[in-house]
Homo-oligomer: A and B are copies of this chain.
Amino acid sequence: MSSPAIGILGAGQLGRMLALAGYPLGLRFRFLDPAPSASTDPLAERLCDPFEDIPALAQFAKGIDVATYEFENVPVSSVRWLAERLAVHPGAPALETAQDRLLEKTFFRDRVGAPVPPFECVESSGDLDRATAQLGYPCVLKTRRFGYDGKGQRVLRNEADARDAWKDLGGYPLILEGFVPFSREVSLLAVRNRQGRTAFYPLAENHHSDGILRLSLMPAPGHDSPSGQALQAQAEDIAREALAALDYVGVLAIEFFEQDGRLLVNEMAPRVHNSGHGTIEGTVCGQFENHLRAVMGWPLGNTAPRQFSAMVNLIGAPATGHIPSAQAFAPIGDAHAHHYGKSPRPGRKRGHVTLLAPTREELAAKVKAAETVLANLESGLAV
């Protein structure tokens, strides 16, 4: 059997969905992840070792045609070690940039020439005083590294908040960002293959609560209007520059704030992204398949939407950690549940459901129906 083999660092739900998209393409998979159990376990080989473990990396690399990652906090050193031995996409520069909010913001501002919120590097309490004076309140203090789902972030409304936040976060490398009174958050899934061809999905509009993504609508509302098309064009221009500057291969997600009809870059993720899960059914070729096509050096698939789609995350309910079964969404119609095979834990992303509809009105009704299923679970009703 000579089917191509892809090695993936990280074995969470993104890895699981990559494998599910890749098996039909004739690809094989090997994962590396130190977690005691992983989303990919029932459906692919996994080495259960630390990302930094060189013998494990050597075993991981053996017989693999190309490596990629589904988790942006894998050590850059591991990616560099692998890249000396086989193709790794996206490359180390993209990973390094994405891992540090200061490098990332600087990259988008200086290399890409994209609007970003004002920011200051904070390495001491003196820096924090100067930075708050510079940016004014409210502002947001963030760890430069290892933040996700709103973790490692504090909104500062006054000096007392700043002192409190410093007690918690002081000692980590930090960045202070000016607060952007944005009207909404949107994200762009961009993809570039080994030949340098690019493709872009329609912008998704993202809704968070408690710092966790709950709902993504694709295309974002207003997409077909002149102002919606202008946003799409601005996002694609920024993404095209960033992809080229990083010699990027694979799917790149860029999150934006929309403010007064223009986009500011918030952050990027050098991987497939939660706001793009709806592309599996919602577009001709989903982000997972396109990431694989890109890293294999194959022609990219069509990113056009089939219908209006909504991606609703299934997050462990506060009380029990449970989420509704696939069956609970069946009555909604054209609803596609995706479970990640993860054990229950409150606040944990354990799945998502994608809803498709031919009109925005019908889609809104389906989103409401899905939210009712979720609310019933939280209130203890059987679903």
Residues of A in contact with B (beta carbons under 8 Å apart): 1, 3, 16, 19-20, 23-26, 28-29, 42-45, 284, 293, 296, 298-302, 306, 325-327, 330-331, 333-334, 336-339, 341, 343, 351
Interface contacts beyond A26-B339, A28-B341, A43-B43: sample of 10 additional A-B pairs, CB < 8 Å, sorted by A = A20-B23, A23-B341, A24-B337, A24-B338, A26-B325, A42-B45, A284-B333, A299-B327, A299-B331, A302-B333
A29 — which chain B residues lie within 8 A by C-beta? 42
Tell me the smallest distance from the CB of A19 to a CB of chain B, in Å.
7
Tell me the smallest distance from the CB of A257 to a CB of chain B, in Å.
32
A43 — which chain B residues lie within 8 A by C-beta? 19, 23, 43-44
Among all A-B residue pairs, the 3 with the closest Cβ atoms: A26-B339, A299-B330, A25-B326
A296 — which chain B residues lie within 8 A by C-beta? 327
In the complex, A379→B306 CA distance in Å? 36
A325 — which chain B residues lie within 8 A by C-beta? 26
Known contacts A44-B42, A341-B26: A334-B299 contact under CB 8 Å: no
In the complex, A301→B326 CA distance in Å? 11
Tell me the smallest distance from the CB of A278 to a CB of chain B, in Å.
13
A293 — which chain B residues lie within 8 A by C-beta? 327, 330
Determine whether the beta carbon of B298 is less than 8 Å from that of A26.
Answer: no
In the complex, A311→B334 CA distance in Å? 22
Chain B: CB-nearest residue to A301:
B330
Determine whether the beta carbon of A339 is less than 8 Å from that of B25.
Answer: yes
In the complex, A279→B24 CA distance in Å? 15
Chain B: CB-nearest residue to A24:
B338
Tell me the smallest distance from the CB of A8 to a CB of chain B, in Å.
14
